[in-house]
Amino acid sequence: MNWFRAYVIGVLGILLFVSVLYLPGFGSFQNKDVANYYLQNAWKETGSANIINSIVWDYRGYDTLGEETVLFAAAMGVFLIIRKKEYHKYGLNNKNRK
Amino acid sequence: MVTFPLSFYGIPIMLAAAFIIPLVSLKKEKMVPYIGVSACLASFFLAALTFIDVLEFGILTHQMEGWPAPFGITIAVDNLSMFLVFMINFIGFAALAFSTKFIKERRTKYYSLLCLVLVGLLGIAHTGDIFNMFVFFEIMSISSYALTSYYRNRDSIEAAMKYIIMGSIATSIILFGIAFIYSAAGSLNMADLALRIPAAAGPVLPLGLGLLLAGFLFKAAIFPFHAWKPDVASVIPVPFATLLATAGSAIGIYAMLRIAFTVFSLTGFWLHISLIVMGVFSMVFGAVLALQQYNILRLLAYSSISQMGFVVMSLGIGSVNALGYTAGIFHLFNIMVFDALLFLCAGIIVYHAGTADMRKLGGFGSFNPILFYSFVIAMLSSVGIPLFNGFSSKILIYIATLQTYPVLTVISLLVSVLTLGYMLKVYDLVFLGGKKISPGRIHRSMWIPMAVLAAVCLFFGVLPNLGMAISDAIASNLSNAMYIMGVLG
Amino acid sequence: MFVYITVMLLALVGIYALLLKENLIKKIIGLAIFSNSIHLFLISLGYRKGGIAAIMQKANVGYFSLAAVDPLPQAMVLTSIVINLSVTAVALSLAIHTYRKFGTLDSKKIRGLNG
């Protein structure tokens, strides 16, 4: 039992539980100017009935591009770490392909 | 403020390079390094063009897909962002050029992942939206987790495992901070938040700010979050170590500056004290631990932790004395130049000797004059000897600390002496020593980046006023009035 | 209020597993629990009492913008789930390679680097 790490967890726990008291109440809908704009205007501007779809693909499509790049980076990473055999054995131009 | 930042096209160019490299490698694997290097050269050229525009207009903005400001994503490039975009492109080009000769096997995955790291770094510097910054931080982090285990031996796997566990805690803490800020302010755009935050009350906002700063300072490797940097820097290929140690840490400090000064516009007491304390601890710990290392890459990683401590301490002083901001940003620029030069010299040493353990090296003084003079210039810069660029920024830090807390001047001078200590240790063990290595040639793709960096070191050492003027222009931008006006119109 | 307390309890359980357990797979599971607790927190920030889902249908066009829940955190969580999936994939492949090189998954025995 690493006491330093237990201490860090304790401090973080106290911080998080104390902050629960100051959050806006569950169900009260405060500070939602941007969300109200999306709910009122997404159908007129993008033509999509699913508002979340219009946010992910239209208003914040750049974030979705970043997310797909993360998927590509993870695929390259897993490929880099796991591969047991040499790459050149599977190349298109290699005559000694196994 | 309707001009488009041309350097933004650097992100799709590097992304296209990262996607094309695996396709091209199926037919002609020899072209893979040249695609990466030419994409980075195009991006650097665009960044140089945009630099002139930013100096004229002050801030360049663009709304992605035309959606107006708080409802779409903003691309906002002001002086601070432009400085970082330029340096990332410059050091990225140096790292890519250096790795054409350094990396010989599994080149496809290496170049693709390195281009993705550059996409991540450039994306963080261009964006004006916190969640978008989080997504691009993740692109950079996941590509670094993958590249850390490039060599796939025992040390690499252990370092990568530690890095990924610690890094994902930091990422989740950043997301926690974004959730708290959204609950209190209701928007995700940085300029919009800067307008809403003074009106929102409650202690949830300082907690969100604290969590965000903890996450970003992890990526910048400041004490107490510095533990990943020496382990990672000793097991990765040296060109990538150059990029990660200099530009990776600088982007962490940039993100901290954006959140603390542009979004929150803080000059309060707690931020000031905590930045100074963390900076002082980083300086002292980095220098003391660097004296004990025998692996040259670990030593250089601790050295960069120590130098980043100077920057953080100076930025902490800046809220009391405005000279601190100028000194901090100028020193950040100088660190990126001489640390990159140190890592590239270490790269040549590791490439020709095959080992990074300094007890087995020796006699490199007669190897190549470019290597020798570059290392001497970088060593004298990092200590802070006059006529080199480290002095120009360190003297500003000494003056700024002398005007506010003189005890910090004493600590800075002692840390500079310790810096001289460990740099002389490297010089003695690697360049002097019993055996003599016969003179050899360095390939031109390796010595040209080093010569350019050394020339920049000498230039800003001999003419410090130009550097001070640029840093003043950047530091005066830290108040967010022009940012909000430029983004929201 | 109880939702937020549940979220913080889940976050503590996740961090406990991440920091204090020794097996690598348990650490990765702890990471997944911690990140999912933050996603739950984000979604529960957007709730409205008596709210309906943020999908427009012919039946609820009239009162839609007064009764729908907040769609923006849900979009953030969609992106974040994919990002955490990628991190878990890279971490698990590293765990596989750790087992190949070290023969064990105990984090106390994976100590080769010094300093």
Mutation target vs C (from A39, A58, A71; most C CBs, 10 A cutoff): A39
Pick from B65, B132, B142: CB nearest A74: B142
The alpha carbon of residue B196 is apart from the nearest alpha carbon of chain A, in Å, by 10
In the three-class reduction of DSSP (H, G, I as helix; E, B as strand; rest coil), residue C81 is classed as helix
Does pLDDT of C106 surpass 90?
Answer: no
Total CB pairs under 8 A between chain B and C: 98
User: Chain B residue closest to A37 (CA)?
Assistant: B71
> What is the rounded distance in angstroms from the CA atom of residue B127 to the CA atom of residue B446?
33
B168 near C CB under 8 A: yes
> Could you give the angle at the alpha carbon of B268 between the alpha carbons of B470 and B245, nearest 5°?
50
Total CB pairs under 8 A between chain A and B: 113
Contact B169 C15 (CB under 8 A): yes
In this prediction the ipTM stands at 0.94
> What is the rounded distance in angstroms from the CA atom of residue A23 to the CA atom of residue B18?
43
Contact C79 B135 (CB under 8 A): yes
Neighbours of chain B (3+ CB pairs under 8 A): A, C
Which residues of chain C lie closer than 8 angstroms to A52, CB-CB? 54-55, 71, 74-75, 78
Mutation target vs B (from A31, A32, A40; most B CBs, 10 A cutoff): A31
pLDDT confidence of residue B130: 92
Contact A78 C89 (CB under 8 A): yes
- Asked if B43 and B89 touch (Cβ cutoff 8 Å), the reply is yes
**What does the radius of gyration of chain A's CA atoms come to, in whole angstroms?**
25
Closest CA to B367 of B346, B352, B382: B352
pLDDT confidence of residue A1: 67
Does pLDDT of A87 surpass 80?
Answer: no
Which residues of chain A lie closer than 8 angstroms to C3, CB-CB? 26
- Write the CB contacts of B50 (distance below 8 Å, at least 6 apart in sequence): B5, B6, B7, B60, B77, B82, B85
Mutation target vs C (from A16, A17, A60, A82; most C CBs, 10 A cutoff): A16
The alpha carbon of residue A90 is apart from the nearest alpha carbon of chain C, in Å, by 21
Which residues of chain A lie closer than 8 angstroms to B73, CB-CB? 59-60, 62-63
B291 near C CB under 8 A: no
B142 near A CB under 8 A: yes
**What does the radius of gyration of chain C's CA atoms come to, in whole angstroms?**
20
Contact B135 A67 (CB under 8 A): yes
Closest CA to C10 of B216, B172, B217, B141: B172
Which residues of chain B lie closer than 8 angstroms to A76, CB-CB? 22, 109, 112-113, 116, 143, 146
Task: Average pLDDT across each block of 10 residues of chain B; the chain has 489 residues. List them in order.
Answer: 81 94 88 92 93 83 85 89 92 93 87 95 92 95 93 87 92 93 88 84 82 90 88 92 93 91 77 90 92 91 94 89 88 93 92 84 83 91 88 91 90 94 90 78 86 90 87 80 78
B199/C78: higher pLDDT: C78
- Asked if A1 and C30 touch (Cβ cutoff 8 Å), the reply is no
- Write the CB contacts of B190 (distance below 8 Å, at least 6 apart in sequence): B74, B76, B128, B129, B130, B258, B262, B263, B483, B487
CATH number, domain containing residue C60: 1.10.287.3510
Pick from B73, B187, B203: CB nearest A60: B73
Indicate whether C115 belongs to any domain.
no
Mutation target vs B (from C16, C28, C90, C102; most B CBs, 10 A cutoff): C90
pLDDT confidence of residue C115: 45
Q: How many residues does this entry show for chain B?
A: 489
Tokens of B68: 């107006």
Indicate whether C15 belongs to any domain.
yes
B136 near A CB under 8 A: yes
Pick from C47, C49, C55: CB nearest A49: C55
Indicate whether C42 belongs to any domain.
yes
- Write the CB contacts of A52 (distance below 8 Å, at least 6 apart in sequence): C54, C55, C71, C74, C75, C78
pLDDT tens digits for range C30-45: 999 999 999 999 999 8
The alpha carbon of residue A10 is apart from the nearest alpha carbon of chain C, in Å, by 9
pLDDT confidence of residue C114: 54
Indicate whether C113 belongs to any domain.
no
Q: Checking phi first, is residue A31 left (phi over 0); if not, alpha (psi -120 to 50) or beta?
A: left
Question: What one-letter code names the amino acid at B164?
Answer: I
Contact C75 A55 (CB under 8 A): yes
B289 near C CB under 8 A: yes
Mutation target vs C (from A3, A54, A81, A83; most C CBs, 10 A cutoff): A81
DSSP C25-73: HHHHHHHHHHHHHHHHHHHHTT--TT-B-SB--GGGSTTHHHHBPPSHH
Terminal-residue alpha carbon distance, chain B: 8
Pick from B131, B154, B179: CB nearest C38: B179
Q: Which residues of A, range 2-61, sit inside 8 Å of B by Cβ?
A: 15, 19, 22-24, 30-35, 37-38, 58-61
**Quick one: CA dihedral B125, B127, B129, B133, positive or negative?**
negative
Neighbours of chain A (3+ CB pairs under 8 A): B, C
Pick from B65, B70, B112: CB nearest A34: B70
Burial of B19 (0-12, 13-18, 19+ CB in 10 A): middle
pLDDT confidence of residue A98: 46
Pick from A25, A26, A35: CB nearest C72: A35
Map out the domains of chain B as residue ranges: 268-489
Domain housing C80: 2-102
Contact C97 B175 (CB under 8 A): no
User: Chain A residue closest to B182 (CA)?
Assistant: A31
Give the mean pLDDT of A79-93.
Answer: 65
User: Chain C residue closest to B183 (CA)?
Assistant: C45
User: Chain C residue closest to A77 (CA)?
Assistant: C90
Q: Other CB atoms closer than 10 Å to residue B420's CB: what's the count? A: 17
Strands in chain A per DSSP E: none
Which residues of chain B lie closer than 8 angstroms to A32, CB-CB? 186
Burial of B88 (0-12, 13-18, 19+ CB in 10 A): buried
Contact C55 A51 (CB under 8 A): yes
**Number of domains within chain C:** 1
